[in-house]
Structure 1
Amino acid sequence: MSVSATSSSATSSGAAAEGDTQARAANPFGTMLVRAGSLVWLWPALLTLGLGLYKANTPLLWADELATWNAANRSPHQLYDMLRHVDAVTGLYYYLIHYWTAAFGHSLLVIRIPTVLAMAGAAAFVALTGRKLFGTRTGLVAGVLFALIPSVSRYAQEVRGYAFVVFFAAAATYLLMRALERPTTWPWVLYTVALLGAGSFHMIALVFLAPHALVTAWRWWTTRDKRLLIGFPAAVLAGLLPLVPLALEGQKQVGRQLNWLAKPSLEDVPTVFWHGLYGSQAISLGMLALAVLPLAWARGRRHAVELGLVAVLPIALLWIISQGQTSYFIDRYMLFTLPAWAVLAGAGLTALRPRALTAGGLILVLLLGSHEQLALRQKFSHTEWDGAAAAAVIAKGYQPGDGLVPLRNGNAILSGVVSAVDFYLPKQDKLKDVFVAESAVDRGDLYPQMCTDLAACLGDTKRVWVVTIGWWDPFNGFSPEEKKVLTSAFPKKTVTQVPNAVVTLLER
Structure 2
Amino acid sequence: MPQSVRTLMGRRLLGPVWLLPVLVTLLTTLYRLGNPVMWQDELATISVVTRPAGKILATVQNVDAVHGLYYMAIHFWVTLAGDSPAALRLPSVLAMTAGAAFTALAAQRLFDYRAGLLAGLVYALVPAIGRYGQEARDYGMVVLASSLALLLLLRALERPTALRWLCYAGALALSGYSNLVSLAYLAGHAALVALALRREGGRARWIGFLGAGALAGLLLIPVVTLGEKQATRQISWIPKPTVRDLATLWPQILCSTGLVVALVAVVVLLGWRVRRRAELAVAVVMTLVPFVAVWALSYGSVSYVMPKYLFFLIPAVALLAGASLATLRLRYALPVALALAVVVIPDQRALHGTLSHNRYQYPTAAPFTALDYRAAADVVAAGYRAGDGIVYGYGYAQWWEIQTGVPYYLPSGDKPVDVFAGTTAEQRNDLWGITCPAPARCLGTEPRLWLVADGGHVVNPFTTVPKAEANVLRAHYHEVLRKLVSGLSVFLLTRVH
For the residue of structure 2 that corresponds to 1:495, the secondary structure is strand
1:86-235 counterparts in 2 under 5 A? Answer: 86-235=63-212
CA distance 1:406–1:36, shift in 2 (3 Å) = farther
User: Of 246, 261, 279, which residue of structure 2 is paired with 1:269?
Assistant: 246
User: Of 336, 339, 342, which residue of structure 1 is paired with 2:312?
Assistant: 336
Q: Retained in 2: the 8 A contact 1:402–1:463?
A: yes
Q: Retained in 1: the 8 A contact 2:256–2:344?
A: yes
Query: How many residues are paired up?
Result: 478
CA separation in 1, counterparts of 2:7 and 2:133?
A: 35
CA separation in 2, counterparts of 1:309 and 1:32?
A: 32
Alignment match, 1:62: 39
CA separation in 2, counterparts of 1:456 and 1:498?
A: 31
For the residue of structure 2 that corresponds to 1:409, the secondary structure is coil
For the residue of structure 2 that corresponds to 1:334, the secondary structure is helix
- Measured after TM superposition, the shift of residue 95 of structure 1 is 1.5
1:263-317 Cα offsets, whole Å, 9 max, x none, are: 11121122x2111011111101222232345652472111111122211111111
1:379-412 Cα offsets, whole Å, 9 max, x none, are: 1111423211221222333344433222331465
Query: 2:220 matched to 1:240?
Result: no
Q: Retained in 2: the 8 A contact 1:495–1:505?
A: yes
CA separation in 1, counterparts of 2:71 and 2:413?
A: 23
- Measured after TM superposition, the shift of residue 474 of structure 1 is 5.3
CA separation in 1, counterparts of 2:389 and 2:278?
A: 65
- Measured after TM superposition, the shift of residue 124 of structure 1 is 0.5
Query: 2:410 matched to 1:425?
Result: yes
CA separation in 2, counterparts of 1:252 and 1:168?
A: 24
User: Of 389, 398, 417, which residue of structure 1 is paired with 2:384?
Assistant: 398
Query: 2:478 matched to 1:491?
Result: yes
Indicate the RMSD between aligned Cα atoms, in angstroms.
2.3
CA separation in 2, counterparts of 1:86 and 1:500?
A: 26
Alignment match, 1:15: none
CA separation in 1, counterparts of 2:306 and 2:486?
A: 29
CA distance 1:32–1:357, shift in 2 (3 Å) = closer
Runs of 4+ in 1 over 6 A off after TM superposition: 29-32
The one-letter code sitting in structure 1 at the alignment partner of 2:452 is V
Identity of aligned residues (%): 35
Query: 2:362 matched to 1:377?
Result: no
CA separation in 2, counterparts of 1:314 and 1:401?
A: 56
- Residue ranges of structure 2 left out of the alignment (5+ in a row): 359-369
CA separation in 2, counterparts of 1:36 and 1:239?
A: 40
User: Of 384, 395, 405, which residue of structure 2 is paired with 1:409?
Assistant: 395
Q: Retained in 2: the 8 A contact 1:474–1:502?
A: no
Q: Retained in 2: the 8 A contact 1:276–1:331?
A: yes
Alignment match, 1:471: 457
Alignment match, 2:361: none
CA distance 1:445–1:464, shift in 2 (3 Å) = same
Q: Retained in 1: the 8 A contact 2:480–2:492?
A: yes
CA separation in 2, counterparts of 1:449 and 1:170?
A: 41
- Residue ranges of structure 1 left out of the alignment (5+ in a row): 1-26
Q: Retained in 2: the 8 A contact 1:126–1:143?
A: yes
For the residue of structure 2 that corresponds to 1:447, the secondary structure is coil
Alignment match, 2:365: none
The one-letter code sitting in structure 1 at the alignment partner of 2:235 is L
Query: 2:359 matched to 1:388?
Result: no
CA distance 1:37–1:182, shift in 2 (3 Å) = farther
CA distance 1:398–1:277, shift in 2 (3 Å) = same
Alignment match, 2:364: none
CA distance 1:487–1:238, shift in 2 (3 Å) = same
CA separation in 2, counterparts of 1:366 and 1:294?
A: 19
CA separation in 1, counterparts of 2:456 and 2:11?
A: 58
Could you tell which deviates more after superposition, 318-327 or 497-506? 497-506
Q: Retained in 1: the 8 A contact 2:287–2:316?
A: yes
Q: Retained in 1: the 8 A contact 2:274–2:280?
A: no
CA separation in 2, counterparts of 1:349 and 1:474?
A: 59
1:442-482 Cα offsets, whole Å, 9 max, x none, are: 11100012334333332444432111231363526444554
The one-letter code sitting in structure 1 at the alignment partner of 2:407 is D
The one-letter code sitting in structure 1 at the alignment partner of 2:341 is L
- Measured after TM superposition, the shift of residue 111 of structure 1 is 1.2
- Measured after TM superposition, the shift of residue 71 of structure 1 is 0.8
CA distance 1:293–1:125, shift in 2 (3 Å) = farther
